[in-house]
């Protein structure tokens, strides 16, 4: 728990540097919504803001549909196929899909360990038109699965914004910290 | 006719007789090949072995002879660095007692770069940052007195190590700031989520004596800074997602962050951008910056380059665009350049895995090698 305490201290400091008190209250409401499912994940509101307007002001940045799935929003791979990297929930994943390794899009393969820390993304579900906050959790304690290497990075950020980074081993805090594969777990709707 | 047959028979007998009379091959002397003296055209290719990550390696390659000279084992999510005299390679890594499971050991291993023999190790607390390779996962102070190892647990800090006595001296927390950029004998900077650099000064025993934050110089939300710095004569150059160039001078008493300039025109902004793992390299003698560029939008910052853009660092002008497809190479995920008078440019791809060697002055392809690992994400100069 000491590690989690330090993580939240770090996240809180970072959030305080970036947001006003009023906006913090708005964020808090959104965090609490998601936290009904996973109470200890460092979510911030930036994903939501970027999902709505694009983070960089460029025409390309305005896209809501992940690049890998652009033009495919009605395809089965994007909407239904959980073993496809194009599946909508995988919009910021970098690793092996657990759905190809004995697990599913949101469950780990048998005999692995669920990571106790994770990174966060916001993905758009074309089926209902909603954005969802998802937690990318690694499944740990066995060697690399090696199947369905999936590489998408929408709204992913460098290592200093850790809660949104997929370049680090998120099995790091587990007793079995070898990386096996990654799942995408819906925490809640990112919108009203 | 009879005469011809007789002559042919005689010649055949003579030939077989000579063969029988020649000496057999001598026994081989089983031994070990010595490592030749290094040249500026060697590279050390860090293969992160993404498909089986506990088995990363560093491969030595001679671009002049296309020779594979040797290997250093690098374990799981390694951080790799060279001592200032280039005679020692330090690899910070993790091993599990039973392959993919079992007790975790974080360790820094030292290799003599004249023999490739392991010479020692420092066992770390189980906190090492298990992240994709950059220059800043592990690094020496300029006088080799300290070695710094980035920690992420996920709380951020770094370890201060004594490479001479093979000991961990201590740990310094860097909440909100990650990685280690050593400069001078006693400073370490880290890159912060707030868009600043944190700089910690240590004393002769490796204890923190002061810390300072730089001014804000990049915006994480609108145009994040890549953490993969590019070495310069006086520090490092950092690129941003949208192609801004931030030059940081670490040669004075505190970091000096110069006003940024852009790799892309206004029309190209948001369309063309840098991407990959090791985004670019600088030939310091010529003052040229080589960057892997691709056409793409938000979320493509790790996509490899489909072109190499070459810039003059004095004028900030683009002086060449070299398309990658004619090289028969996949998108370029790592870029390095040699620092000699006849410089070579090295471009690595992971899909398919290959390392190309080009003339850094003209862009002319010299060779493509496909046996330098599966995910060559970082290339170091000797």
Residues of B in contact with A13 (CB under 8 A): 175-176
In the predicted structure, residue A67 carries a pLDDT above the cut 60: no
Select from B100, B130, B302 the Cβ nearest to the Cβ of A172: B130
Question: A2-39 burial string, b = 16+ CB within 10 Å, else e?
Answer: eebebbeebbeebbeebbeeeebeebeebbeebeeebe
Residues of A in contact with B271 (CB under 8 A): 58-60
Name the CA dihedral angle for B322, A158, B281, B63, rounded to a multiple of 10 degrees.
Answer: -90
Task: Output the six-digit token pair for B310.
Answer: 């070459």
CB contact under 8 A, B193 and A151: no
pLDDT in tens, B212-241: 999 999 999 999 999 999 999 999 999 999
CB contact under 8 A, B299 and A152: yes
CB atoms within 10 A of CB B53: 24
Select from B52, B129, B299 the Cβ nearest to the Cβ of A154: B299
Residue predicted with more confidence, B59 or A27: B59
The CA-atom distances, in angstroms, between B312 and each of B21, B265, B293, B304 are 67, 15, 16, 22
Tell whether A19 is within 8 A of chain B (Cβ).
Answer: no
**Partners of B172 in beta bridges:** B158
Angle, CA of A93, A98 and A103, to the nearest 5°: 145
d(CA A152, CA A69): 10
Complex ipTM above 0.85?
A: yes
In the predicted structure, residue A47 carries a pLDDT above the cut 70: no
pLDDT in tens, A160-186: 999 999 999 999 999 999 999 999 999
Q: Indicate the pLDDT class of residue B5, thresholds 50, 70 and 90.
A: low
In this prediction, residue A191 carries a pLDDT of 78
CB contact under 8 A, B298 and A46: no
Catalytic residue among A119, A131, A170, A178: A119
d(CA A25, CA A136): 25
Residue B60: φ, ψ to 5°: -95, 130
In the predicted structure, residue A25 carries a pLDDT above the cut 50: no
Residues of A in contact with B51 (CB under 8 A): 144, 146, 149
In this prediction, residue B19 carries a pLDDT of 53
CB contact under 8 A, A149 and B51: yes
Select from A143, A156, A173 the Cβ nearest to the Cβ of B52: A143
Q: Indicate the pLDDT class of residue B185, thresholds 50, 70 and 90.
A: very high
Angle, CA of B343, B345 and B348, to the nearest 5°: 155
What letter does residue B33 receive in the DSSP assignment? P
| DSSP output for B115-149 | TTEEEEEEEEPTTB--BS--TTSEEE-TTSS-EEE
What is the pLDDT averaged over residues A88-95? 95
Select from B130, B224, B270 the Cβ nearest to the Cβ of A59: B270
CB contact under 8 A, B298 and A56: yes
Nearest CA in chain A to B197: A160
In this prediction, residue B21 carries a pLDDT of 67
Q: Answer yes or no: A88 catalytic.
A: no
CB contact under 8 A, B77 and A57: no
Residues of B in contact with A94 (CB under 8 A): 302
């Amino acid at each position: 728990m000491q590690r989690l305490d330090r993580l939240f201290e770090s996240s809180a400091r970072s959030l305080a540097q970036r947001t006003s008190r009023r906006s913090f209250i708005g964020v808090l409401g959104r965090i609490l919504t998601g936290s009904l499912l996973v109470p200890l994940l460092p979510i911030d509101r930036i994903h939501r803001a970027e999902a709505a307007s694009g983070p960089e002001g460029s025409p390309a940045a305005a896209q809501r549909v992940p690049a890998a799935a652009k033009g495919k929003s009605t395809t089965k791979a994007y909407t239904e196929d959980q073993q496809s990297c194009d599946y909508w929930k995988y919009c910021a994943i970098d690793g092996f899909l657990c759905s190809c390794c004995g697990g599913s899009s949101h469950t780990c393969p048998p005999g692995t360990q669920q990571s106790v820390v994770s990174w966060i993304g916001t993905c758009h579900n074309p089926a209902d038109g909603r954005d969802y906050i998802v937690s990318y959790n690694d499944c740990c304690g066995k060697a690399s699965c090696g199947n369905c290497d999936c590489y998408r990075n929408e709204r992913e950020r460098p290592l200093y914004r850790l809660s949104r980074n997929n370049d680090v081993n998120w099995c790091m805090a587990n007793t079995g910290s070898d990386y096996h594969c990654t799942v995408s777990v819906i925490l809640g709707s990112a919108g009203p | 006719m009879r005469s011809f047959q007789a002559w042919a028979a005689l010649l055949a007998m003579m030939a077989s007789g000579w063969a029988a009379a020649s000496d057999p091959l001598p026994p081989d002397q089983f031994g070990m090949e010595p490592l030749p003296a290094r040249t500026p055209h060697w590279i050390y290719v860090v293969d992160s072995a993404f498909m089986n990550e506990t088995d990363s390696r560093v491969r030595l390659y001679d671009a002049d002879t296309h020779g594979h000279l040797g290997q250093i084992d690098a374990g799981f999510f390694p951080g790799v660095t060279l001592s200032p005299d280039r005679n020692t390679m330090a690899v910070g890594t993790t091993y599990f007692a039973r392959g993919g499971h079992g007790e975790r050991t974080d360790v820094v291993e030292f290799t003599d770069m004249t023999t490739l023999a392991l010479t020692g190790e420092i066992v770390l607390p189980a906190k090492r940052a298990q992240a994709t390779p950059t220059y800043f996962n592990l690094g020496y102070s300029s006088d080799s007195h300290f070695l710094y190892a980035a920690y992420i647990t996920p709380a951020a800090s770094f370890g201060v190590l004594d490479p001479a006595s093979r000991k961990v001296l201590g740990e310094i927390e860097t909440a909100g700031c990650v990685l280690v950029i050593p400069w001078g004998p006693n400073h370490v900077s880290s890159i912060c989520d707030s868009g600043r650099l944190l700089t910690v000064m240590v004393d002769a025993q490796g204890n923190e004596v002061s810390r300072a934050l730089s001014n804000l110089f990049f915006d994480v939300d609108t145009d994040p800074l890549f953490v993969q710095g590019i070495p310069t004569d006086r520090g490092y150059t950092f690129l941003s997602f949208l192609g801004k160039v931030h030059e940081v001078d670490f040669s004075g008493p505190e970091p000096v962050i110069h006003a940024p300039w852009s790799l892309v025109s206004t029309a190209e902004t948001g369309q063309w951008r840098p991407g990959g793992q090791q985004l670019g390299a600088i030939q310091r003698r010529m003052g040229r910056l080589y960057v892997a560029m691709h056409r793409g939008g938000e979320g493509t910052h790790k996509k490899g380059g489909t072109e190499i853009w070459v810039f003059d660092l004095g004028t900030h002008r683009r002086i060449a665009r070299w398309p990658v497809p004619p090289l028969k190479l996949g998108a370029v995920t790592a870029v390095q350049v040699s620092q000699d008078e006849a410089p070579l440019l090295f471009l690595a791809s992971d899909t398919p895995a290959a390392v190309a060697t080009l003339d850094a002055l003209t862009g002319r392809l010299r060779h493509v090698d496909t046996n330098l690992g599966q995910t060559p994400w970082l290339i170091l100069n000797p």
